[in-house]
Copies of this chain bind each other. A is one copy, B any other.
Amino acid sequence: MSAYREITGGVTAAQGFLAGAVSADIKGNGNEKLDVGALITTVPATVAGVFTMNTLAAAPVVVCRRRITGGSARAVIFNSGNANACTGAQGITDAERAAAHFAQRHNLPVESVLITSTGVIGVPLPMTRLLEALDRIELRPDGGKDAAIAIMTTDTHPKEVALQLSLHGRTITIGGMAKGSGMIHPNMATMLAYITTDAALTPSYAQALLRRVADRTFNMLTIDGDTSTNDSLLLFANGLADSQSLSEADEESAHFEEAITIVAERLAIMLARDGEGATKVIESHVFGAASDPDARCIARAIVQSPLVKTAIYGADPNWGRIACAVGYSGAQVNPSILDMSIEKYLLMQAGNPIPFDKQAVSEAIKASDHVHIVIHLHLGDATSRAWGCDLTEEYVHINAEYTT
């Protein structure tokens, strides 16, 4: 069987995963939104993680990086409203203390509890409210949605996806949740994403797999070019549906990798769609690049360009800005053989502008909430896709008034 069946649910869709969330007023502004949560697996799971490249990685990232080296975990706790970043040594102490508090209450090994945080940078965690909130969390098999809400910051809605596939003759489930929605840029693109599965994975396979999946999905997503201090992608695989451990050598591993890539890609596109102030997803497709890195950097340059983003927002078929982004991407380009399309309209062929119906292209952009830009370089076989969103007055509005 090569098909995947999409099902409802998120991180608790797979067997043996429980989650829950409560409102703790982490920001201290009286807001009653769910902002502290936890995800637990009833049996130890193989764990893998991909984290921000930011050298000022937040305290929870430092703690997670250390703890996943064991290859196994039982739980992750999370909060929004405070990133616990740029908080010095106190930040590490606070992150470890919160994880230990949760571990003790649920009788788990301290090192088996991970922690992720998102929100404002440079403010110490309100530990009293956080610890008290952790005690109140009810872990339930239908708690995925609450968990997805608890990690939201300026996201306008929770982001969940789940699908099933057949592996070794058994039905296994993969679920995921993620939050955006500003300070989003490759390495890692997403701020927080969690994928759970009841398949069994060897730790080394899980880590290599997650890195490849991230490079094709979250790392090809950009909202505003800012690589956050807290970006974390975690994968938990508890093996409850299929005890036969997958590794690179398994002939069904490609099938599983495809499924998990779909989950990650769906989440990445949801993040693009809910980018701060966004009205449209922008997807760039690059064909015929001389190398994979070239394909990737062109795809990303296009969706990252403020001028492309504002043009798409204005339904303006100003393709010169796309060509400009291709040109400064750093990739090998031969301008005289370059083709470019927006949606179904060919606008540049072999480096020459093609006369086109400006009004029709503008209408096509206006009518779409997921605009496709296609580049063919005719230099080689490498391809890539990247995702972003348009840049609107609302992005400025949201970000000019975040902390004050």
Cross-interface CB contact of A226 among B227, B307, B401, cutoff 8 Å? B307
Q: In the bound complex, what is the Cα–Cα distance between A228 and B323 (angstroms)? A: 10
- Mark contacts of A321-335 with chain B using CB atoms, 8 A cut-off: 1 yes-contact digit, 0 otherwise: 101111110011101
Whether A318 lies near B120 (C-beta < 8 A) is yes
Interface of chain A, helix or strand or loop or mixed? loop
Identify A224's interface contact among B122, B307, B393, B396, CB under 8 A. B307
- How near does chain B come to A391, taking the closest CB pair, in angstroms? 6
A314 touches B85 (CB 8 A): no
| Contact (Cβ within 8 A) B122 A348 | yes
| A86 proximity list for chain B (CB < 8 A) | 320, 323, 335, 348, 351, 353
A3 at interface, CB cutoff 8 A: no
A395 within 8 A of B: yes
Are the C-beta atoms of A397 and B393 separated by less than 8 Å? yes
A190-234 with Cβ < 8 A to chain B? 224-229
B residues in contact with A328, CB < 8 Å? 52-55, 185, 187, 226-227
Complex CA distance for A326 and B54, rounded to whole angstroms: 8
Contact A313 B396 (CB under 8 A): yes
Give the nearest-CB partner of A328 in chain B. B227
Is A403 interfacial (CB-CB < 8 Å)?
yes
Contacts of A332 in B (CB 8 A): 55
Contact between A353 and B123 (Cβ–Cβ < 8 Å)? yes
**A108 contacts the other chain (CB 8 A):** no
> Is the Cβ of B404 less than 8 Å from the Cβ of A315?
yes
Interface centre among A311, A347, A404 (most CB of B within 10 A): A404
Q: Given A310-B399, A404-B316, A54–B122 Cβ distance below 8 Å?
A: no
Is B226's CB under 8 angstroms from A321's CB? Answer: yes
Given A56-B333, A306-B399, A399-B306: A122 touches B320 (CB 8 Å cut-off): yes
Are B327 and A57 in touch, CB under 8 angstroms?
yes
Shortest Cβ gap from A40 to chain B (Å): 30
**Hey, which chain B residues are within 8 Å of A335, CB to CB?**
55-56, 86
Check A352–B56 contact: CB distance below 8 A.
no
List the 7 closest pairs (A to B, CB-CB), nearest first: A121-B320, A314-B400, A56-B327, A310-B399, A227-B328, A54-B327, A393-B393
Told that A55-B333, A183-B324, A316-B401 touch, could you supply 4 new A-B pairs with CB distance under 8 A? A85-B320, A86-B351, A228-B324, A310-B395
